[in-house]
Amino acid sequence: MLTRRTFVAAALLAGVAPAFAETPATSDPAAILTAIYTRAAKGKGDGGGAFVIETKAAKSKYLSKALVALWARSDAHTPKGDVGPVDFDPVTNSQEPDVKSFKIDAEKMEADKATIAVTITGHHNDRKPADLIVRYDFVREANSWRIDDIKGSSDGEAWSIRKMLTNALKS
């Protein structure tokens, strides 16, 4: 016989059960990049996105474990006093950040991988159109999305953070 107490207990358990289910990622890749570029575009848009890679904690927050480990190996391989292999702001693809606005396009979305392109518009339009697009490869780790590579071009020459770090280990 179903008593009121049993009914209430069952109703409470039914409400609690979803909490034990796998929770979705708090942000998707587009939301992560929107937050990054919104911050980079604040003020005069010259603050850039170096905050993504400036500290070990920042790298751990935004980057995949594999990319963080590769970066650490590359930094350890860099002679003392030298600048590491990434000597520019990859988020803005520049030495002197200039972000007025941005547009995000999801090029590929899978369950555990994504590629997102960000087109940057600056206050000064003095760069080649291809240099205004930065692509991010994301991977899902521990139910969170992390950046696994950042790619772009500079004066028409393609670059990849992952390739730069890997090449730095070879020299």
Q: Is residue 94 part of a domain?
A: yes
Contacts of 65 by beta carbon, 8 Å cutoff, 6+ apart = 141, 146
Q: Is residue 12 part of a domain?
A: no
CATH number at 33 reads 3.10.450.50
Q: Is residue 3 part of a domain?
A: no
Global pTM value: 0.82
Strands (E), 61-109: 101-109
**pLDDT tens digit sequence for 100-124:** 999 999 999 999 999 999 999 998 8
Spatial contact of 91 and 35, defined as CB atoms under 8 Å apart? no
**pLDDT tens digit sequence for 85-96:** 899 999 999 999
